[in-house]
A and B are shown apart, each in its own frame.
Chain A
Amino acid sequence: MGDHELKLLGMWASPFVLRARLALSFKGLSYEYIEEEIFGNKSALLDKSNPVHKKVPVLIHKDKSICESQIIVEYIDEVFSGTGPSLLPVDPYDRAVARFWAAYIDDKLFSLFMMMIKGKTTEDKAKGRRHSFAVAETLEGALKGCSKGKSFFGGDNVGFLDIVLGGFVAWVHTRDILSRSKQFDAGKTPLLAAWLERFCALDATKAVMPDVEKLVELSKMRQARDDAAAAAVSQSN
């Protein structure tokens, strides 16, 4: 299990699990990783440790369960404050700003990705793309404000907000490939595009990034399955 008595229940394709893994990676913490089945039944351990939502990620620390990716990141930062870099800023206002943008990212970016991935019609998907550019532009402003000219939302070093957005980077790369366009376009959102490259080049990121080719395959498989289901429904009507 490792020195820190940590286990992480996860799923390799999940951006929320990736967040938790990024936090553990940047803090230099060892843990046992337990993969949940992607399409299968949820394990007894997952049911027991996240009875409310039955979702990953779940961090298990000395038999206590912590759920919700952002809460897990804050927990890791607080419990292991002496290990590795601090993820949340020290100043209460900077912390509030980070939490505000973290909430925004979960509110807007995730639902947009879902719209683009699961959008039934070409219009849905196009709408998703337009909104995602608007969100990217807003995040560009957030990055400018938070980084104050430095490399990351956290300043010189990766912080909470870098990790919150960082959970989505594998999906950003996947969407880039599938849509043959850039979600964080260097022309429109130069700071974000540079951030993406810098963030992905870090060893701690590379150590936990899922295989983007596999994500592309998974995306195509899900799309095919959704298309088949939609066709079956329209045939039976």
Chain B
Amino acid sequence: MGETVKVIGAFDSPFSHRAEVALRLKGVPYELLLEDLGNKSDLLLKHNPIHKKVPVLLHGDRTIPESLVIVEYVDEAFQGPPLLPADPFDRATARFWARFLDDKCSTPFWLSLWTEGEVQQGFMKEIKGNLKLLEGQLKGKRFFGGDTIGLVDIAASGFAHWLPLFEEVAGVTLATPEEFPDLCRWGKDYTSHDTVKQCLPDRATLLARFTAKKDMFVSTVKSMAPKS
């Protein structure tokens, strides 16, 4: 029997999902400790004092924060199907697109939802352009990882499950099947995957929560969006 594995996560969080899905794909049992991000626990603050964010992986006495660092750790520390390709160039490519998602997609995505007018149009153009680049990486494969789910699929999971929900709450359309046929098809394949389904938060609950928080989301971007 190996050491205890726990994930400090949050119900709503796509980053938290990344950690969970990596563990499940590797067949690693874990305990999920759910945080109320409005009232962070001492456990979270102790284990991620730098960023104070979820997810955090606890493996025995080891602490690993940052979702993409966690995914690579899970891939290396546990047996089971690989989450990264074997070839170094393919690995570099996977890491590149995983970082692209976090560095270039998260912020314009968020801003495109909650801003208005010309500013919003600008962010929508940016996120759509970046999603197009990402979609290009599918190249007829079922998943970014090929036949099986890999690092890029996990990194992009927010766009599979959370994107349509946020579009609904915000009343914004970013990725239609007409404009993004491969990406939308991938999103369906990802969210219906047997292992993935086990750790995706329930759609209806998420929708209700995000709808209730809409005003708060709008206020967060006011400090982020450039002044026009």
When C-beta atoms are compared, the residue in chain B nearest to A93 turns out to be B62
B100 within 8 A of A: yes
When C-beta atoms are compared, the residue in chain B nearest to A142 turns out to be B50
Rounded to whole Å, the gap between the CB of B130 and the closest CB of chain A is 9
Whether the pair A138, B95 counts as a contact (CB closer than 8 A) is no
Chain B, interface size category, equals: 20 to 34
Whether the pair B92, A104 counts as a contact (CB closer than 8 A) is no
Q: How far is the CA of A172 from the CA of B69 in the complex (A)?
A: 27
B1 within 8 A of A: no
B135 within 8 A of A: no
Whether the pair A79, B73 counts as a contact (CB closer than 8 A) is no
Whether the pair A64, B89 counts as a contact (CB closer than 8 A) is yes
A177 within 8 A of B: no
A99 within 8 A of B: yes
Q: How far is the CA of A71 from the CA of B94 in the complex (A)?
A: 10
Q: How far is the CA of A97 from the CA of B99 in the complex (A)?
A: 17
Q: How many A-B residue pairs have CB under 8 A?
A: 58
Contact of A66 among B59, B66, B77, B92 (CB under 8 A): B92
Q: Chain B residues near A64 (CB, 8 Å)? A: 89
B35 within 8 A of A: no
Whether the pair B64, A96 counts as a contact (CB closer than 8 A) is yes
The answer to whether residues A100 and B64 also contact, given A64-B89, A67-B96 and a CB cut-off of 8 A, is: yes
Q: How far is the CA of A83 from the CA of B68 in the complex (A)?
A: 28
Q: Chain A residues near B92 (CB, 8 Å)? A: 66, 71-72, 74-75
A36 within 8 A of B: no
Interface of B is mostly: helix
Rounded to whole Å, the gap between the CB of A101 and the closest CB of chain B is 9
Whether the pair A100, B65 counts as a contact (CB closer than 8 A) is yes
A214 within 8 A of B: no
Rounded to whole Å, the gap between the CB of B53 and the closest CB of chain A is 12
Whether the pair A92, B73 counts as a contact (CB closer than 8 A) is yes
Q: Chain B residues near A74 (CB, 8 Å)? A: 91-92, 95
Whether the pair A78, B50 counts as a contact (CB closer than 8 A) is no
Whether the pair A52, B88 counts as a contact (CB closer than 8 A) is no
Whether the pair A71, B69 counts as a contact (CB closer than 8 A) is no
Chain A, interface size category, equals: 20 to 34
Whether the pair A68, B99 counts as a contact (CB closer than 8 A) is yes
Rounded to whole Å, the gap between the CB of A20 and the closest CB of chain B is 12
Q: Chain A residues near B70 (CB, 8 Å)? A: 96
Rounded to whole Å, the gap between the CB of A46 and the closest CB of chain B is 16
Whether the pair A79, B99 counts as a contact (CB closer than 8 A) is no
A103 within 8 A of B: yes
Q: How far is the CA of A112 from the CA of B100 in the complex (A)?
A: 21
Q: How far is the CA of A92 from the CA of B57 in the complex (A)?
A: 13
When C-beta atoms are compared, the residue in chain B nearest to A98 turns out to be B69
Contact of B73 among A52, A71, A95, A138 (CB under 8 A): A95
The answer to whether residues A96 and B72 also contact, given A52-B100, A79-B88 and a CB cut-off of 8 A, is: yes
When C-beta atoms are compared, the residue in chain A nearest to B95 turns out to be A71
Whether the pair B50, A138 counts as a contact (CB closer than 8 A) is yes
Q: How far is the CA of A8 from the CA of B68 in the complex (A)?
A: 27
Sample of 4 further A-B pairs with CB below 8 A, known A75-B92, A103-B68: A93-B62, A93-B77, A96-B73, A100-B66
A selection of 26 A-B contacts at a CB cut-off of 8 Å is: A64-B89, A66-B96, A67-B96, A68-B95, A71-B96, A72-B92, A74-B91, A74-B92, A75-B88, A75-B91, A75-B92, A78-B91, A93-B73, A95-B72, A95-B76, A96-B62, A96-B64, A96-B72, A96-B73, A97-B64, A99-B66, A99-B69, A100-B64, A100-B69, A103-B66, A104-B50
Chain B residues engaging chain A, CB cutoff 8 angstroms = 50, 59, 62, 64-66, 68-70, 72-73, 76-77, 88-89, 91-92, 95-96, 99-100, 133
